[in-house]
Chain A
């Protein structure tokens, strides 16, 4: 009772007016469409003029788990997420450690590292696609000279290689971001800790495992989950590089194709696509809860 009177009435009203535009904006363009998607997922339905909604209960969901293409894209997404996050983390850690060391032109190098992050994914995908070109691509040539592929191998048209190629683009694009987050964590560590360790005769490796890693742990946790959430939603790079062919289709790519290629489908597949949307939402939702928990966000 007492606590309530601590709030000033004027403050509450002002806060209401200040926050309401944001709530309206995200309500209309995020929560409402989500609700619509959930609703649609229980129907056989499409936007075809005159198409009659037909309530099918959980049938769309049941069908989904018998859909080989869905299971395949689920597997591809997990595969992509695991390898891209792992490589990005390792490379990002190395980059962060180097950027934290002292050397000439460090400021410039730090800025240069940010370049891939700033380039739109659609654009970097095209840049890499050109480097992967089977006839004239510079990466194809390098891999051929190294004896890894045969001349004229289409990297993005070969099962296995295509996914590796896509992961490489994602790694290139995202490692700078990972490095930045880790660097921010590294810079909190006081130098005295390392000096003390050096006086005690601790090796570089020992310093790394007993000082750097433990202090960095919370940052590492956040970075990994943050990246995992992003990787699970991957769309741009896959769509542009392969359109999801040769075993690279991810959940988001399959979902968009289900929705948009069948938008006026006489078979009512828009509802089926909506069910997949909901499943993706739930998968990400689970990770988000973990994310919020481990971040321990202060919310007031």
Chain B
């Protein structure tokens, strides 16, 4: 009887592990395949004899990505654009979030609704209007031309997540700072923001990833290969002729830009999950 329960327990466990393994393979395989392909020499890559391990191991694809095209510049563009977007959306967003979380003012509900509504805007619906605006301001094909729309795109998320974090801070600390003669703005700047550093890191990370990954605006507003951000550069990768797609290089480029993201996600996994769920589930 007891033995029977044991085996039943064990079969269940084995079954669970099998599913876990299948699941992990499903989620990891394409990434692994990109890594494998990026280290494979062309003569082995373009053969019908497909193997799980890289044949003719080579770094050539990685070197070519930087020597044959402006990929280094593309990475720099993405760092500048996503970095600036993150910093500005954190500053601007934390101000708004504080007002919404802590100050008693009329019309707050409507304001929050207005800000949140923007996160629902289909990007393509404002593409035409935005293109004209940026064109009139001479910002097409410039960093600012991407940073400005990205900040607006990010603000609903930053404001929403940060106000969730601010609400959870103990009010007493702010009150005592206020009694000690700090103005409310000083309280925000000197006390609330440092205290919510973990929240800022999480939110910043999400904002950064969102800006780093954006495609439609980057594709439309950046018009020369030197100004492309990483996703556009990778999407536009072509060979010398139409039929000669340099898959090894595309995979190398893909691995270069995803590895840092994957590491960030692995390190900050708990925080990201917390932020994501706070941003969408918590009512």
Contact = CB atoms under 8 A, between A and B. Distances in A.
A277 B151 contact: no
Given A123-B257, A300-B109, A35 B129 contact: yes
Interface in A1-53: 4, 6-8, 10-12, 14-15, 18-19, 21-23, 25-26, 28-37, 40, 47
B92 interface: yes
Contact of B254 (A95, A127, A263, A284): A127
B269 interface: yes
User: Which secondary structure characterizes the binding site on chain A?
Assistant: helix
User: Which secondary structure characterizes the binding site on chain B?
Assistant: helix
A240 B238 CA distance: 12
Interface residues of A, number: 104
Contacts of B73: none
Q: How large is the interface on B (under 10, 10 to 19, 20 to 34, 35 or more residues)?
A: 35 or more
A68 to B, nearest CB: 20
A120 B257 contact: yes
B212 interface: yes
A102 B103 CA distance: 43
Contacts of B159: 22
Interface in A259-300: 259-260, 263, 270, 273-274, 277-278, 280-281, 284-285, 288, 291-292, 295-300
Given A29-B126, A33-B127, 5 more contacts: A19-B96, A118-B261, A122-B231, A260-B220, A284-B125
17 contacts: A7-B105, A18-B96, A25-B155, A37-B128, A40-B128, A115-B262, A122-B215, A123-B230, A181-B280, A235-B216, A240-B235, A252-B123, A270-B128, A295-B283, A299-B110, A299-B112, A300-B112
Interface of A: 4, 6-8, 10-12, 14-15, 18-19, 21-23, 25-26, 28-37, 40, 47, 94-95, 98, 101, 103, 107, 109-128, 130-131, 133, 135-136, 138, 141, 172, 176-177, 180-181, 183-185, 219, 222, 226, 229, 232-233, 235-236, 239-240, 251-252, 255-256, 259-260, 263, 270, 273-274, 277-278, 280-281, 284-285, 288, 291-292, 295-300
9 closest A-B pairs by beta carbon, nearest first, are A33-B129, A36-B129, A122-B231, A299-B109, A29-B152, A120-B213, A281-B125, A33-B126, A18-B99
